[in-house]
Amino acid sequence: MGDEGRSPNELTDDEVIGAASVLMAQRGDRQAAALMLDVTNIHIEKRSTDQGWGEFTNIVESQEVILEVEPHLMPRFERHLLNQIESAFVTVGHGCGRNIYEVTAREVIPRVGPNWREQLARELKGGHQTNHARKVRLEPRHPAEDGLHFTNEWEHRVYQVLKEQQALLPDNDTIGVMPLGALRVPGHTFEPDFLITYRGRVGVIEIDGPHHKGRASADRSRDRLFKHAGVRDVDRLCVEDSTTKEEVEKFVTDFLKHLGS
């Protein structure tokens, strides 16, 4: 159904998340609002509960907001901040006809495979991640090239295209490529997928996989923080829309042209 068939008060899950996040900032709950930028995934799940007794029992439909957070970030989600987040979601839910009753923060479950012992050994040793300022959730047998590590194959493919573009440029007018380097902005430490330097300018490339669904509002807020900190351009490559190398090459070419102009 298109937007023309929606009620004026009806919001999508992403719009609910965005509205609640902005409402926190407007209320002055800035620390709670900033926590939304640290969330990896956000789910709004439906719940059905029986209320009453006997023939007077009613089934009540409600919704729970689940914030998935990297384990090392969980201590930031203190109870009083979660209460502020929950209050904002309850208010937004009430305004659009949703019975949101609870907000829960839980750890992101690591992705593992048959070689999980090797993955565990890397984690216990610190991962030997020369370019990582954090412990990323690496896939089993994660890609690596030139002493650099990548979270997944999508990032590795983009790096290979960037490397090819780098080789085509003269030594005195080339690009620098930093995968997964930590970048501190006021109140946050982020790890953009790629930090690119070119002609005295800095740009960021983010690779958006399926896990980014429902994060549009948080991504936009993060991009603004990058730009406020002096990053000239922030662009996002959706892997679902870039299935061929030619499409990735066009994205990289356009990004460098805009960054260098």
- DSSP sequence for 18-50: HHHHHHHHHHT-HHHHHHGGGEEEEEEEEEEEE
Contact between 36 and 84 under an 8 Å Cβ cutoff? The reply is no
pTM, 2 dp: 0.51
What is d(CA 17, CA 130) in angstroms, rounded to the nearest whole number? 35
pLDDT of 181 above 60: yes
What is d(CA 258, CA 255) in angstroms, rounded to the nearest whole number? 5
3-state helix, strand, coil in the chain (%, to 5): 45, 25, 30
Average pLDDT, the chain: 83
Q: What residue segments make up the domains of the chain, in order of their start?
A: 3-107, 116-260
Contact between 113 and 142 under an 8 Å Cβ cutoff? The reply is no
pLDDT of 248 above 50: yes
Q: Any idea which architecture 3-107 has in CATH?
A: 2-Layer Sandwich (3.30)
Token digits for 241?
């829309």
121-128 average pLDDT score: 64
What pLDDT is stored for residue 138 in this prediction? 43
The CATH classification number of 116-260 equals: 3.40.1350
What pLDDT is stored for residue 213 in this prediction? 56
100-104 average pLDDT score: 93
What pLDDT is stored for residue 60 in this prediction? 66
Contact between 90 and 75 under an 8 Å Cβ cutoff? The reply is no
- pLDDT-derived band at 158, boundaries 50, 70, 90: very high
What is d(CA 147, CA 169) in angstroms, rounded to the nearest whole number? 22
What pLDDT is stored for residue 238 in this prediction? 87
What pLDDT is stored for residue 110 in this prediction? 83
